[in-house]
Amino acid sequence: MRWLRQLFSRRRRYDELSQSIREHLDEKIADLIDRGMTREQAKHAALRAFGNVTLIEERSREVWQWPTLESALADMRFAFRQLLRSPAFTVTAVTTLALGIAVNATMFSLVSAFLLPHLPGRDPQNVLVPTSINPDATFQASANPVSAPNYFLWASDTHLFSEVTAADYRTGSLSGPGQQPEAITYAAVTANYFSVFGAVPELGRAFLAGEDQAGHDHVVILSRGLWERRYGSDPSIVGKTVRFNRQDYVVAGIMPASFRHLGFTPQLWAPIAFTAEDRAPNARKNRFLYVFARLAPGVTLKQAQAQLDVLAEQAQHDFPAIESRWGATIRTLPEFLIYNFGIRQAVTILMAIVGFVLLIACANVAGLLLARAVGRQKELAIRMSLGATGVRMVRQLVTEGLVIALAGGGIGLGLTYLGIRFLRAALTFNEAISAMPVRLDSRVLLFAVAVSLASALLSSVAPAIKASRTTINTDLKNETRSASGRGHNRLRVVLVGGEIAIALFLLIGSGLLIRGVYLIDHQKLGFEHDHLMTAGIGLDQARYPDAAKQEKFVRDLMTQLRQIPGVKGTAVTSDLPASGFNSVTFHIKGQQATRANEQHTTTDVVVTPEFFELIGVPVLSGRGLTDHDDATSPRVVLVNQQFVHKYFPDCDPIGKQIQLDISSLPAAWSEIVGVVGDMKSYSEDTRFEPQVFEAYEQRPVGSFSLMLRTSLDPTSVTPSLRHTTAQLDSELPLLRVMSMDTMIDLNRRGNPLFAQLLTTFAVLALLLSALGIYGLIAYSVGRRTQEIGIRLALGAKASDISRMILRDGFKVSLIGSAIGFVVALPLPKVFASVLEGDLSFSAPFIYPLVLAVMLIVVFCSTAAPASHATRVNPTVALRNE
């Protein structure tokens, strides 16, 4: 408690101190008078010997203070007063920093939510995700799901993992008497799934050992969200029966809302019951499991990877037909989830851009502070002559920067709050993304504070040090045209040049990215996607065990759907165009069996005959599919132009035989009977892929999509579509009921938002650097008023003056632009290597275009001060002296 006592006794201490010093001087003066000096002489001599009384008193008092804190507070009070005295400067500086801080904090909320996710369970960073490496995939090839035999192999290897679980993420149906059937995402998991994650249900229990065996597997665990929405948070649901996939399941428990894994967050969990077929060698073809594991004690991640490599090599050797070239890799759970989410690159790019925007903002504020420091040279010189040290001056000026940055940070946080609300509203293109808590959490808050402090330092240290080098003599004598004043200006010129370089670099970068995104979003898909309603259906084994039953359902449904008013036509397809077709390998009759690593691959779709006419894809040669192409007639396929181009470049494909490798079907040759126009397999792909179309009647599939051509708004037929389906099967849910255009929008995921954010930030950078160059030129015009006055008085024309000012502006801008231009040259290559997917970034025209925009903006922001300069009245300017 001594400090408390000291705090209260301080006033007395200070008095005593002044008193002691006074006594000291009095004694000395008395001594000196005794030695024969006059009182006046003695007083001067005593003070000289003593030193600077005020300073010494201050130093002595500081002993009793918490010097840093208290004098910092004093500095802050002073800074506040100083800033209030020049509101225009303060508002500009604070707004600039507020914008810079706000965009950074807003983007960081994405980083916080998606790149640093809070994962549930015990030590989530120790959960590992081994995956297969697909040698043929271009997208996320190293995060391929795993086949059941490989899972069994890994799980039984005690040198690898201590605990292993596998999950199959599927779609299922929830129904019940009087309820609308609902399609849900669920995970079929092994019984130890939750214990591997170290998570427990908040109500009820997890799966018991043995519940993943056939006959015991009719239990489910609900997610908190599903429980709230569908069951009204009724706790008594635990232990009751629900209708799931047309069968009765007992609800064992409810998982807490926090049990989320980004893109792997199902609404319900059910046990997976492996069958003997899953253990057969042929099951290696079906790679559908995601494996989660914890390392065996004493095994490192590296050793585990080495062991996986050994096992993969062994499998390649033992099953060359299936496993050839396939590998395996391992990631930690957070790494895997972030990789799979595929948002890292976009967020990183955005974060880098806002970082640059902040740099520009700081450069602007630094420029403003420099200009102010020049104006305050006299004040500083006086303070230094009164004994203030350089360090002390730096601290004062940095404190001013800090006050500006904190004010900016405060307002910035307000803007961040709005920015995050905007982001939340815009992040609706993906269920997993919109479910993520993007919010102003403690991490974002901390980040905003850190950014504010960093920008305070960035923007104030250089000007402060520069200002503290004030030389007392010259600065007290000279007004504003001192040598150091020119030094300040040189630093400002460098700052503004740098700003322009960064802004140009950002504009070019964003321009390239936006163009890449635009090209994809506006490319021709090759089919008519307007007025098209779609819905997915998954026929389950329980009610539709064989092809005949499935086919009958499809035929009945088609007939009924065509009766709906406003429906002009219908078709069924295994996969919707533009949303991604499956890839298969195939053989061409008459060609030698190809070696494993140069297998022919094509995408493959099963469609009903009306498909092509319905979506406006032309049959270019041969014939289309007909109702006669059914199970009893010879197998036929259509191919697209790209397929012909790739595999039959020199001959007519009609009449040729091909055989598709489809694991669930016996091998059979099919004849190519027609060639159709190209359409995009996936809307975000810039290339056309080879496509093969099979006839639905010849190869019925249980999971397919309906397409309805409508005369009005496609969603207007949704109620009739649901009603008609329910009449045929009341427990069958419709999946992804939406128009084709909505579907394509969903495929674009964040692209429009990404482009929108890029544009916003690039424009912000441009505006800030325009403000920077405006400030620089306006300030230099202000300082050169007298010079301009003299020039005018000596007969210079107004046009000469404005040309002189413009030239100054352009000199800085051109040097800055040149640097930004050169640095931006390798950007297309950088983007192409960093961003996954099929974006094209080479657009040389962006470069001169951006440069032109930049120069126009520079011209506009220099024109105002330049024209102001020509209106200088020589007599007034010279009288100013």
Partner 1 sequence: MHGYALAQRLQSISEDYLQIEEGSLYPALQRMLKAGWLETEMGLSARNRPVRIFRVTKAGRKHLEQELESVKKMFAGFNRVLQLAGRQEA
Q: Which residues contact partner 1 (rule: CB under 8 A)? A: 6, 13, 16-17, 19-21, 23-24, 26-28, 30, 49-53, 56-57, 59-64
For partner 1, the closer CB: 27 or 630: 27
CB of 18 to partner 1, least distance (A): 10
Bridge-based pairing of strands 567-573 and 128-133 is unpaired
Residue 628 CB: number of other CB atoms within 10 A?
11
For partner 1, the closer CB: 6 or 179: 6
d(CA 514, CA 754): 8
Give the residue from 199, 204, 201 showing the smallest Cα distance to 237: 204
CB of 389 to partner 1, least distance (A): 14
CB of 76 to partner 1, least distance (A): 24
The residues, any chain, with a CB within 8 Å of residue 557's CB and separated by 6 or more, are 706, 724, 725, 728
Q: Are 709 and 569 in contact (CB under 8 A)?
A: yes
Token pair recorded at residue 367:
């420029």
For partner 1, the closer CB: 25 or 462: 25
Residue 707 CB: number of other CB atoms within 10 A?
24
The residues, any chain, with a CB within 8 Å of residue 860's CB and separated by 6 or more, are 770
CB of 357 to partner 1, least distance (A): 47
For partner 1, the closer CB: 63 or 667: 63
CB of 385 to partner 1, least distance (A): 18
For partner 1, the closer CB: 23 or 431: 23
Q: Which residue has the tokens 């005018």?
A: 792
CB of 796 to partner 1, least distance (A): 57
Token pair recorded at residue 124:
């989530």
For partner 1, the closer CB: 17 or 426: 17
Beta bridge partners of 571: 707
Cβ burial, residue 63 (10 Å; 0-12/13-18/19+): exposed
For partner 1, the closer CB: 9 or 626: 9
CB of 47 to partner 1, least distance (A): 9
CB of 53 to partner 1, least distance (A): 7
Torsion of CA 441, 442, 447, 453, to 10 degrees: 130
Q: Are 676 and 617 in contact (CB under 8 A)?
A: yes
For partner 1, the closer CB: 57 or 556: 57
CB of 15 to partner 1, least distance (A): 10
Beta bridge partners of 532: 709
For partner 1, the closer CB: 56 or 351: 56
Within 469-535, residue ranges assigned H as helices are 472-477, 483-521
Residue 281 CB: number of other CB atoms within 10 A?
12
CB of 3 to partner 1, least distance (A): 10
CB of 29 to partner 1, least distance (A): 10
CB of 30 to partner 1, least distance (A): 6
Alpha-carbon dihedral sign for residues 741, 743, 744, 748: positive
For partner 1, the closer CB: 11 or 81: 11
For partner 1, the closer CB: 59 or 279: 59
Bridge-based pairing of strands 567-573 and 203-204 is unpaired
For partner 1, the closer CB: 10 or 240: 10
d(CA 192, CA 215): 17
d(CA 749, CA 739): 16
For partner 1, the closer CB: 59 or 687: 59
> For residue 223, which amino acid is it?
S
Residue 537, classed as helix, strand or coil, is: strand
Eight-state DSSP code of residue 137:
-
CB of 21 to partner 1, least distance (A): 6
CB of 468 to partner 1, least distance (A): 23
d(CA 835, CA 876): 60
3-class SS string, 571-591 = EEECCCCCECCEEEEEEECCC
CB of 20 to partner 1, least distance (A): 5
Output the DSSP codes for 650-706.
SS--TT-EEEE--TTS----EEEEEEE----SBTT-SS---EEEEETTTS--SEEEE
Cβ burial, residue 42 (10 Å; 0-12/13-18/19+): buried
Alpha-carbon dihedral sign for residues 749, 751, 752, 757: positive
For partner 1, the closer CB: 26 or 248: 26
For partner 1, the closer CB: 16 or 652: 16
d(CA 505, CA 549): 62
CB of 65 to partner 1, least distance (A): 10
Q: Are 509 and 824 in contact (CB under 8 A)?
A: yes
Output the DSSP codes for 263-310.
T---SEEEE----HHHHSGGGGG-EEEEEEEEEPTT--HHHHHHHHHH
For partner 1, the closer CB: 25 or 296: 25
